[in-house]
Structure 1
Amino acid sequence: MRLLGKLVLPLALLLGAPVLSSAKEPPAIPADLANYIAKDEPGSGWKIEDSKDFGSAKVWRLKLTSQVWQGITWTHDLLVVRPSDAPIGKMLLLNEGGSASEQKAMYAALLAGKIKAPVAILLGIPNQPLFENKREDHLIAETFVRYLDSGDSSWPLLFPMVKSVVKAMDSLQEFSKQEWGGPVEKFIVGGGSKRGWTTWLTAASDPRVMAITPMVIDVLNMREQLTHQQKSLGGTSEEISPYTERGLVPIPDTPRANSLWTMVDPWTYRERFTMPKLIVLGNNDPYWSTDALNLYWDALPGEKYISYTPNAGHDLTERDAAGKKLTPDRSINNVCSFIRYQLSGKPMPKLSWKHGTRPDGSLELTITADPAPQQARLWYAHSETRDFRKARWESQPIELKEGQPITASGPKPDNGFAAYYADLGYQIDDLPQWLCTQLRVVGADEK
């Protein structure tokens, strides 16, 4: 693998209101996932395939064997980047599909430079194609159906996906001790879409995860989400057709189907998510209802923050009014600034907010922020229905008054529906950061 070349950002890697975490011990995770992760894997191991100096950093390519699942040996490329003299106790670990490439190595190096810490990208999550050339959601759906048919709880594909990340953490600790003279102790884990799904379940399963950045997986509390999606979109999203085509959605009301969705829904594990969390979403993601976050946000414990990218879909890349792609810089910088906070130990801004309606019918948003942001904006979109996936988001600045709550208002829609939220601009060192409020959807006939 060549480690030099033109930078191309892998789309799957594009990646608040804090509350006090509970002092009680989190509940044990459901036995099926815990037992699968704990199962011995005598063939698991890793080796260094090659390495290269890369400017002021060094890049290693490891080959990892994580497990044998349903008779299939899972292997992965594991890219590791360490900037010169970067501390080694903590690192970012992203999980992604595919295999090693110079573009992915350069992306890891870009992130490592931004966060000033080691970065690893675990690839081949999941191993695919499998079972008559199935990939991605078609492959996950196939394994769900096989669980429903057999009752064998090792079938759901999310289980080996999570175990691969756990084995990557094991390997990175051994590798860092061997190559850097000391082990990595803690990991910030992230990933996009089904790799974001994997991120949530890994965080529930392993105490080495100190913070997470799940991206474009806005579906916790799945049964409620699917009901809400049908009401908001006039049916389920076409993007989840691999599941609807196999009879998995709507979720059958059977004991085994209920067991399946309990095992794989991060909502089941929510009390364990006490670590800091940055949830990274695109406002125009075709997979999910625009306000899907509201069905699980309040139930998440610990520090939690929102990164919405307006006019961006599942790839987190903004688009202009003509639909031309711009850049993913907003989401990348938001993720990197969040990670910089976690690594530095500096406290994140503390935010709280309240949506409301004024006596004249206009829409209101009140925000308390400590420290005060450098700037703030109100984002607003209109749609004839509750489906905002193709709506255009526009912003207006919010005036900041020293020592006072941040307030903004917008017009109630004359017809159809309006959606609105605010983002607040901060900066940590040289990295810009936009932290968002929840968004609210309001109809013209609603009070």
Structure 2
Amino acid sequence: MRLLGKLVLPLALLLGAPALSFAKEPPAIPADLGTYLTKAEPGSGWKIEDSKDFGIAKVWRLKLTSQVWQGITWTHDLLIVRPPDAPTGKMLLLNEGGSASEQKAMYAALLAGKIKAPVALLLGVPNQPLFDGKREDDLIAETFVRFLDSGDSSWPLLFPMVKSVVKAMDSLQEFGKQEWGGPVEKFIVGGGSKRGWTTWLTAANDPRVMAITPMVIDVLNMRDQLTHQQKSLGGPSEEISPYTKRGLVPIPDTPRANQLWSMVDPWTYRERFTMPKLIVLGNNDPYWSTDALNLYWDALPGEKYISYSPNAGHDLTERDAGGRKLSPDRAINNVSAFVRHQLTGKPLPKLAWKHGSRADGSLELTITADPAPREARLWYARSETRDFRKSRWESLPIKIKDGEPIIANGPKPDKGFIAYYADLGYQIDDLPQWLCTQLRVVGADGE
């Protein structure tokens, strides 16, 4: 799960799903993560390394020590950007890998300008390389294996990753009192891939998180996801090979393996996700099945929204038919619009949808929206199999009639499969925003 360089964020609300998910009694919440997060860290702390004007905003660079994990001290760069006169009671906090750079400061400043509020960028999540040069998923897999071997529940790398974000929030509150005359009270937390995984787990365990933007981590309900991958992709995605080659996938049916995946799967904590959520996904992400979200969407409580980026992979950057990268503006604007809604308290549109079929077998998607969007599009892709990761997504405009449901129609595939969903265009102040429905995969046989 690679570092996400760019960000994306649209919305869509509940109801009417192409139901791949199914009701289950949630398992008991494991105490292990909460125990790790409350463990005292006497060496943690922060200091201001430098600060400077960055365009019309001001940027601070902090050095944060979050914890000592398995005898290793974790340190991080923490970049903070505040536009002039922006209120400071709420802010966007993104967690990423790497270290401070001018490019990352520019990115944070861009977002801060769009949302008109402070932005913090926590870096070095996780601290790496470790254990003979391992990074990213190879490093996570190594820590999972060490837990299975030892039974020491502090081993899974997601635990110190979450604690890094928790300690960043602690530091930002202290920093706010010192530099801005008042603490930051609430945070909108986001991150991509394993940093999105971290976002989910942080939100489940810290009441200061008021909203979340987890990106390209379309794998909640992990056991069922891997079964679905087998059906859709013909086996586990090659992108998760760090886990398959260590014997972690398929998930062994042992008490300790069950404990591991229960501790780290956000699905376990789903009843806690009552805050607004924007789930950000690329339609061509090679890690996940195209319709993976349908295995957990219905079980998420509270406000929830979907951002699909067509013809975009794990980096959320759209590509043209020749594979050339296009502008990331759609993603950045959708993220910013979602955050702006949370900061201002302006309600998001209320959306509901239902996928279905007509008597002639053609496909139908019916949407209700309050308020009505400025425009709407039907996105669709074709594939010989249920694997759409290399398919090209095309769009058609959908007519909008005042006071009536929005109805999109498409042909039933005469062979192979078709996937389809809709997005609706809105505007919040100067920011365009696209809110998506769930997508549905339909085969020539109707299944």
**TM-score normalised by the chain length of structure 1:** 0.95
The superposition leaves residues 261-304 of structure 1 with CA deviations (integer Å, 9 ceiling, x where unpaired) of 00000000000000000000000000000000000000000000
Give the corresponding residue for 1:66. 66
Contact preservation (8 Å) 1:215, 1:280: yes
| Alpha-carbon distance in 1 for matches of 2:225, 2:42 | 39
Q: Are positions 1:437 and 2:430 aligned together?
A: no
Q: Which amino acid letter does the alignment assign opposite residue 408 of structure 1? A: A
The correspondence for 2:13, drawn from 11, 17, 31, is 17
Deviation at 1:28, TM superposition (A): 8.4
Q: Are positions 1:75 and 2:64 aligned together?
A: no
Give the corresponding residue for 1:392. 392
Contact preservation (8 Å) 2:6, 2:316: no
Contact preservation (8 Å) 1:415, 1:443: yes
Deviation at 1:27, TM superposition (A): 10
Contact preservation (8 Å) 1:45, 1:171: yes
Deviation at 1:167, TM superposition (A): 0.1
Deviation at 1:202, TM superposition (A): 0.2
| Alpha-carbon distance in 1 for matches of 2:252, 2:428 | 47
The superposition leaves residues 208-237 of structure 1 with CA deviations (integer Å, 9 ceiling, x where unpaired) of 000000000000000000000010000110
Give the corresponding residue for 1:23. none
Contact preservation (8 Å) 1:29, 1:205: no
| Alpha-carbon distance in 2 for matches of 1:184, 1:28 | 32
Q: Which amino acid letter does the alignment assign opposite residue 325 of structure 2? A: K
| Alpha-carbon distance in 2 for matches of 1:52, 1:75 | 22
Give the corresponding residue for 1:171. 171
Give the corresponding residue for 1:5. none
SS at match of 1:205: coil
SS at match of 2:294: helix
SS at match of 1:12: coil
The superposition leaves residues 97-134 of structure 1 with CA deviations (integer Å, 9 ceiling, x where unpaired) of 00000000010000000000000000000000000000
Deviation at 1:332, TM superposition (A): 1.1
| Alpha-carbon distance in 2 for matches of 1:395, 1:114 | 27
| Alpha-carbon distance in 2 for matches of 1:309, 1:369 | 20
The superposition leaves residues 370-396 of structure 1 with CA deviations (integer Å, 9 ceiling, x where unpaired) of 000000000010000000000000000
Contact preservation (8 Å) 2:137, 2:243: yes
Deviation at 1:425, TM superposition (A): 0.2
| Alpha-carbon distance in 2 for matches of 1:130, 1:436 | 39
Contact preservation (8 Å) 1:362, 1:412: yes
Runs (4+) off by over 3 Å: 10-13, 26-29
Contact preservation (8 Å) 1:13, 1:191: no
Q: Which amino acid letter does the alignment assign opposite residue 318 of structure 1? A: E
Deviation at 1:56, TM superposition (A): 1.5
Contact preservation (8 Å) 2:4, 2:193: no
Q: Which amino acid letter does the alignment assign opposite residue 309 of structure 2? A: T
Give the corresponding residue for 1:194. 194
Q: Are positions 1:116 and 2:86 aligned together?
A: no
Deviation at 1:54, TM superposition (A): 1.4
Deviation at 1:30, TM superposition (A): 2.2
Contact preservation (8 Å) 1:282, 1:314: yes
SS at match of 2:105: helix
Give the corresponding residue for 1:426. 426
SS at match of 1:202: helix
Q: How many residues align?
A: 432
Q: Which amino acid letter does the alignment assign opposite residue 309 of structure 1? A: S
1:329-348 superposed matches below 5 A: 329-348=329-348
Contact preservation (8 Å) 1:12, 1:193: no
SS at match of 2:368: strand
Q: Are positions 1:315 and 2:318 aligned together?
A: no
Deviation at 1:331, TM superposition (A): 1.3
Larger displacement relative to structure 2 (326-335 or 374-383): 326-335
The superposition leaves residues 398-445 of structure 1 with CA deviations (integer Å, 9 ceiling, x where unpaired) of 000000000001001110000000000001000000000000000001
| Alpha-carbon distance in 2 for matches of 1:29, 1:76 | 29
Deviation at 1:327, TM superposition (A): 1.6
1:239-278 superposed matches below 5 A: 239-278=239-278
1:25-36 superposed matches below 5 A: 29-36=29-36
Contact preservation (8 Å) 1:27, 1:272: no
**TM-score normalised by the chain length of structure 2:** 0.95
Give the corresponding residue for 2:411. 411
Give the corresponding residue for 2:356. 356
Contact preservation (8 Å) 1:211, 1:342: yes
Contact preservation (8 Å) 1:61, 1:77: yes
| Alpha-carbon distance in 1 for matches of 2:248, 2:422 | 36
Contact preservation (8 Å) 1:13, 1:94: no
| Alpha-carbon distance in 2 for matches of 1:12, 1:131 | 25
Alignment identity in percent?
86
Q: Are positions 1:286 and 2:286 aligned together?
A: yes
Contact preservation (8 Å) 1:214, 1:279: yes
Give the corresponding residue for 1:155. 155
Contact preservation (8 Å) 2:4, 2:96: no
Q: Which amino acid letter does the alignment assign opposite residue 144 of structure 2? A: F
| Alpha-carbon distance in 2 for matches of 1:270, 1:105 | 33
Which runs of no fewer than 5 residues in structure 2 stay unpaired?
A: 16-25
1:110-149 superposed matches below 5 A: 110-149=110-149
Give the corresponding residue for 2:181. 181
| Alpha-carbon distance in 1 for matches of 2:272, 2:328 | 30
Deviation at 1:18, TM superposition (A): 4.5
SS at match of 2:204: helix
| Alpha-carbon distance in 2 for matches of 1:328, 1:395 | 18
Q: Which structure's relative contact order is higher, taking Cα pairs within 8 Å and 6+ residues apart?
A: 2
The superposition leaves residues 13-71 of structure 1 with CA deviations (integer Å, 9 ceiling, x where unpaired) of 4232248xxxxxx9984210000000000000000000001122100000000000000
Give the corresponding residue for 2:402. 402
Contact preservation (8 Å) 1:379, 1:393: yes
Q: Which amino acid letter does the alignment assign opposite residue 78 of structure 2? A: L
Q: Which amino acid letter does the alignment assign opposite residue 156 of structure 1? A: P
Give the corresponding residue for 2:54. 54
Contact preservation (8 Å) 2:80, 2:120: yes
Contact preservation (8 Å) 1:12, 1:191: no
SS at match of 2:190: strand
SS at match of 1:77: strand
Give the corresponding residue for 1:22. none
| Alpha-carbon distance in 1 for matches of 2:427, 2:211 | 19
Give the corresponding residue for 2:19. none
| Alpha-carbon distance in 2 for matches of 1:286, 1:329 | 22
Deviation at 1:12, TM superposition (A): 3.5
Q: Which amino acid letter does the alignment assign opposite residue 340 of structure 1? A: R
